[in-house]
Amino acid sequence: MIRKPIVAGQFYPSNPEVLKKTIKNYLESVKQDKNPEKIYGLVVPHAGYIFSGKAAAVTYQKIVNSKIDLFIIFGTNHSGLGNNFSVSLRDFETPLGIVKTDIEFAEQLIKKSYAENDEQPHNYEHSIEVQLPFLQILSPKSKIIAIAVKNNDYNSYKKFASDVADLIKEIKKKVCVIASSDFTHYGYAYHYTPFTSKIKENLYKLDEGAIKKILAFDAKGFLDYIEKTKTTICGFPGIACCIEICKLLGSSKAEKLVYYTSGDVSHDYENAVGYAGIVFK
């Protein structure tokens, strides 16, 4: 079974050659690490490449030459369908070809955790799909695990993260966890206008508060910050899971690589979205 692309031609080019060139241009425009470090996880945005492609490139250049065997991708469950932790058992297709799912790992995860096989949310979810062309260019032999995560509580994320980390420790593979998330969605289009003046300044400040919690490996504090501010960080469940997993695997340092907003690209701050790239080392 193949999960067909649903946002090719919208979020990123549908023509394979144009898509390759687009990604390579983004990657060539950012500084490359000469000495690859051990990478435990990443937070990467999932908007249209015209907006968040640069942030994705800055973040993904961290995995150049890292030879990752498996990417565990936590996607935002925008549709709200399916289970709390919905794992796909299908391979994913993009204009660049097929990305294989690690079926053995997926089946073990379903057996040993809250996760269930549920394809329904993946049929409508773009947040995992938009990551794949970058991975196909940078790590073409890697397999994936696609998990759509619903809004839940800290204890559920912590328990699931523990189960995932335990399974990672059991296998002899190099694994990188990806939390696919944009940051605050500001404006009437997103039903979120906590301020109406100094929008750029306040948007940066709002997201910086969340990023500080992530960099401190404080998943509980991150979730509390979201509850307090009501900020519209769509992929917060996946970020919380990513923090906990990376911490359990031995990550000791998190770094913000990039942050900007769609307003910085379009010069329209009436409706703007924040994009951050974060690495766990």
Confidence at residue 35, expressed as pLDDT on a 0 to 100 scale: 64
Q: How far apart are CA 79 and CA 96, in angstroms?
A: 26
β partners of residue 3: 92
Per-residue pLDDT tens digits for 123-182? 999 999 999 999 999 999 999 999 999 999 999 999 999 999 999 999 989 999 999 999
d(CA 103, CA 83): 19
Give the tens place of pLDDT for each residue, 1-27: 899 999 999 999 999 999 999 999 999
Give the span between the Cα atoms of 250 and 38, in whole angstroms: 11
Q: What integer pLDDT is reported at residue 31 of this predicted model?
A: 79
Tokens in use for 202?
Answer: 């306040």
Please give the average per-residue pLDDT across 99-104, as a whole number. Answer: 99
- Region 73-99 average pLDDT: 97
pLDDT at 113: 96
Cα–Cα distance for residue pair 176/255, rounded to 1 Å: 15
Q: What is the DSSP string of 215-250?
A: HTT-HHHHHHHHHHH----TTHHHHHHHHHHHHHHT
Tell me, letter by letter, the H, E, C secondary structure of 113-164.
CCCEECCHHHHHCCCCHHHHHHHHHHCCCCEEEEEEECCCCHHHHHHHHHHH
Whether 32 shows a pLDDT value over 80: the answer reads: no
The residues facing 175 across adjacent strands are 70
pLDDT over 90 (residue 60) = yes
Q: Kind of pairing, strands 85-87 and 116-117? A: parallel
Domain ranges in the chain are 2-280
The pLDDT tens digits for 203-252 are: 999 999 999 999 999 999 999 999 999 999 999 999 999 999 999 999 99
Three-state secondary structure call for residue 81: coil
Label residue 34 by pLDDT band (50, 70, 90). Answer: low
Element (H, E) at 101: none
Tell me what the pLDDT averaged over the chain comes to.
97
* Assigned token pair, 141: 């032999």
Q: What is the pLDDT of residue 65?
A: 85
Cα 84 to Cα 28: distance, rounded to the nearest angstrom: 38
Cβ–Cβ < 8 Å for 77, 149: yes
Question: Regarding the domain with residue range 2-280, which homologous superfamily does it belong to in the CATH classification?
Answer: LigB-like (3.40.830.10)
Which tokens sit at 209?
């508060």
Q: What angle do the packed helices 219-229 and 236-249 form, to 10 degrees?
A: 160
- List all residues 6 or more positions away from 191 whose beta carbon is below 8 Å from its beta carbon: none
Q: Which residue, 82, 33, 96, is CA-closest to 60?
A: 33
Classify residue 188 by its DSSP letter: G
Confidence of residue 33 (pLDDT cuts 50, 70, 90): confident
Helix (H) or strand (E) holding 36: none
Closest by CA position to 281, among listed 53, 26, 17, 62: 62
